[in-house]
Structure 1
């Protein structure tokens, strides 16, 4: 808006032509400026000249002199410039003008209104562009911040995983593995639920325990994590598949720290026959993905495609 209120040449000249037509006398012109908040001290020399030699200055001379002075300082007289424009654009008492000036005054007021509206429009468009640029800059900065935060989190998760190799307590190691991978899934905002237990009815106790659930591309995957001394065989795979078979549209992910036996891999392939999907990971894969800063959801999508298209649930990148 400052672009409008700091009068550009075209608007300046229109104002110089208009104010004298809205006021019949030179004194009325001074009163018009004074009413807009322009202090007398700014044009005291004009007042003295009019007192000593009134014919030496026209109404137009008075307007130009005062307008030049308030237009020089963009900040100090901003309020006065705004008030002058407000008084001109809202002027309706054209009957108080000289009769011969009324139509011309109306035309000039309308022209000033038009100029201000156009300049306001350009100012608004400029502000909108600046706001949009600022928003894009902020969005970009937010993305950078998210990437930096994710890097820090991934570094912490990598340390968690490495620390597991020195843990000798199997139960503690298993829980820490669940926690580390759960945090990993959280960084990509795909974790639906951490490990949970399902109790049976009539006091049956825990009848099912699931290490975690993730969702990607609107598909739900039940996650099972195992850290055993020996490679994972078909028994562990079938046990996890049992959780999937009893749920509509559910799929599975199996993560092993000790690899898989041939029978375990075969069991994973058999899931496809029953319209279920099992994707098999090595824990080592996760470490490599984190170290290479690969995007896990995309990596998982490639594994899913291999399982479906190539019928290979255990394809490694």
Structure 2
């Protein structure tokens, strides 16, 4: 049996208050026992001291029921935490009452019945309160989760805005190696901001002798599929000779491997033809760095961008569809 004292209900409900007004006088055979009951329950003397003084001066002028009614009324109007604790202690003592042999014989059965009824009311109130608290806890947790989700999304948007600025700034960087190193970090952060799992760190494999400014190899996971990623930032358009090493690397992996090729410059017809032919063996998609930049500007999810490209590559055999 739970102790009445729901955090959200500061005062006795009417039904419970009426039962207490009937029960407590029966539990106290003598008038002096009423004051002793409240004192033992930790009730502040200011709630009953005037009644006790009247009883001391003229016992016949004071009745048990009127004292209990008035004290409980006063106590029930106390909106402080102290008043709440005192009301809980009174309930605790009444519902835990076990010895009825000390009561007047005619009052014993009445008192037992009232105590049992109070226990039922308290149990029902506690059950309702627990359900209410569980619902409110669930609602609070949902609100907090939503707030965290919104805060995380705001942080991601701010991060993507900064990435957009930094990637755009790379076009003004004259140092090839510096630009490649910066792009490596930026792409890792970019994919992570869209919850695209980066399975390997990107590594620079630039060959300046061949005009390559930056080449990044890595692996991403999109919808459970693994994609080997390569990026080139060439001085000229991407040709078949730039695509073929990437296609070979994908073919040399397990059959589950797929390929994503990203270029800062456009693709020649020969490069697109090679990627289209590679689709006969594995799924390959191609994208331009400008598409990623445009996705950031449009606040488009990169996963959705690549999903559309993958669908176009598989269904339309078009590895270089522009998805906007």
Tell me whether the two structures share a fold, i.e. TM-score over 0.5.
yes
User: Do structure 1's residue 116 and structure 2's residue 122 form an aligned pair?
Assistant: yes
Equivalent of 2:113, from 102, 107, 115?
107
Shift of 1:235: 1.9
d(CA) in 2 for partners of 1:113 and 1:18?
A: 12
Q: Does 1:277 align with 2:283?
A: yes
Q: Cα deviation per residue 1:247-267 (whole Å; 9 max; x = unaligned)?
A: 111111101111111111111
Q: 8 Å contact 2:184–2:203 — kept in the other structure?
A: no
3-state DSSP of counterpart to 2:113: helix
Give the direction of change, closer, same or farther, for the CA distance of 1:169–1:52 in structure 2 (3 Å limit).
Answer: closer
Q: Label 1:16 to 1:3 Cα distance change in 2 as closer, same or farther (>3 A).
A: farther
| Of 147-156 and 39-48, the range deviating more from structure 2 | 39-48
In structure 2, the residue matched to 1:56 is 61
Confirm or deny: 8 A CA contact 2:184 2:204 kept in the other structure.
Answer: no
For the structure 1 residues 41 and 162, does the alpha-carbon distance in structure 2 shift closer, same or farther, using more than 3 Å as the test?
closer
| TM-fit CA distance, 1:159 | 1.5
Q: What is the rounded CA distance, in whole Å, between the counterparts of 1:59 and 1:82 in structure 2?
A: 21
1:309 aligned residue? 315
Give the TM-score taking structure 2 as reference length.
Answer: 0.89
The residue aligned with 1:204 is none
- Correspondence 1:195 to 2:202: yes
CA–CA distance in 2 between the matches of 1:210 and 1:221? 13
**Which of 274, 280, 297 is the equivalent residue of 1:267?**
274
- Cα 1:162–1:301 shift into 2, 3 Å: same
1:15 aligns with 2:20: yes
Moved more, 211-220 or 40-49: 40-49
Which runs of structure 2 are paired with 1:134-145 in the superposition (5 Å)?
Answer: 134-145=140-151
Q: Which residue does 1:257 correspond to in 2?
A: 264
2:34–2:64: 8 Å Cα contact kept in structure 1? yes
1:89 maps to which residue?
95
Further displaced range: 135-144 or 17-26:
135-144
Deviation by residue 1:148-170 (Cα, 9 ceiling, x = unmatched)? 21121111111222112122233
* Contact 2:217 2:230 (C-alpha < 8 Å) held by counterparts: yes
Question: Deviation string for 1:195-247 (max 9, x for gaps)?
Answer: 1489xxxxxxxxxx962221111111111010112211122212011211121
SS in 2 for 1:273: coil
Query: How far 1:55 sits from its partner (Å)?
Result: 2.4
* 1:4–1:106 CA distance, 2 compared to 1 (3 A): farther
Gaps spanning 5+ residues in structure 1: where?
199-208
User: Which shifted more, 121-130 or 285-294?
Assistant: 121-130
Unaligned runs of 5+ in 2: 1-5, 206-214
The structure 1 segments of at least 4 consecutive aligned residues displaced by more than 6 Å after TM superposition are: none
8 Å contact from structure 1 (residues 4, 120) kept in 2:
no
Determine the C-alpha separation between the residues in 2 that align with 1:197 and 1:165.
Answer: 18
Change (3 A) 1:129 1:25: same
- Deviations 1:52-81 (CA, angstroms, capped at 9, x unpaired): 332232221121121112111121422211
Question: How many pairs does the alignment contain?
Answer: 306
Corresponding position: 1:223 with 2:229: yes
Partner of 1:129: 135
Please tell me whether the aligned partners of residues 174 and 226 of structure 1 are also in contact (alpha carbons under 8 angstroms).
Answer: no
